[in-house]
Chains A and B, each alone.
Chain A
Amino acid sequence: MEMIQIVGLGLMATVLILVIREQKPMFAFLLAAFTGLFIFLFMIGKIEAVITVLEGLADRSGIPTIYLKTILKIIGIAYIAEFGAQIVRDAGQESIASKIEFAGKVLILVMAIPIISVIIETVLGLLPAGG
């Protein structure tokens, strides 16, 4: 039962953070960051299994691997950006958090451009000549 472990961990860490925040807010912030990292690392092993299955499916259906790679990269960027932004937001730096999210969006857009261009080429190929 991983879920119970995660919830217990979160509750325990929250109580500890509440205790420490009175004395040293710096340590409370680091403890919050550590707990977040811990839960993320705990879960990333599960994601790995899902991605292995996805790769197998893509191999069998003959989808070019570049598409799957791009999508996985986008998912990775989204996770990292969200994580970093939330930790920074916890520390009270709302503006830096929005910039991190903005950078994540731009990078995702850059990654997606090859796929978008392929889609547009396909659509143009479907149109009748001279259209």
Chain B
Amino acid sequence: MNLDVSAIFQIAGIGIIVAMIHTVLKQMGKEDMAHWVTLIGFVIVLFMVVRLLNDLFQEIKTIFLFQ
């Protein structure tokens, strides 16, 4: 199993940077761009979480459910 703690830092970093970009773009008056940036960051993080969730479910299936 290739678990690395750095993924947590990655998610936190993506969150902080996206919040920063959002603020800057809003100050520049580009509201729609700011929302797109938030959405894309969210999707990237969602991908990471869902991949780990898939790992967990596979593991539980092989251990508890004999498949």
Contact = CB atoms under 8 A, between A and B. Distances in A.
Contacts of B24: none
B52 A79 contact: no
**Chain B interface category by residue count:** 20 to 34
A27 B52 contact: no
Contact of B56 (A30, A37, A73): A37
Contacts of A34: 7-8, 11, 48-49, 52
Contacts of B16: 19-20, 23
Contact of B49 (A16, A37, A51, A73): A37
Nearest to B57: A80
Interface of A: 9, 12-13, 16-17, 19-20, 23-24, 26-28, 30-31, 33-35, 37-38, 40-42, 44-45, 47-48, 51, 69, 72-73, 75-77, 79-80
Given A12-B8, A17-B12, 4 more contacts: A16-B12, A23-B16, A27-B18, A44-B60
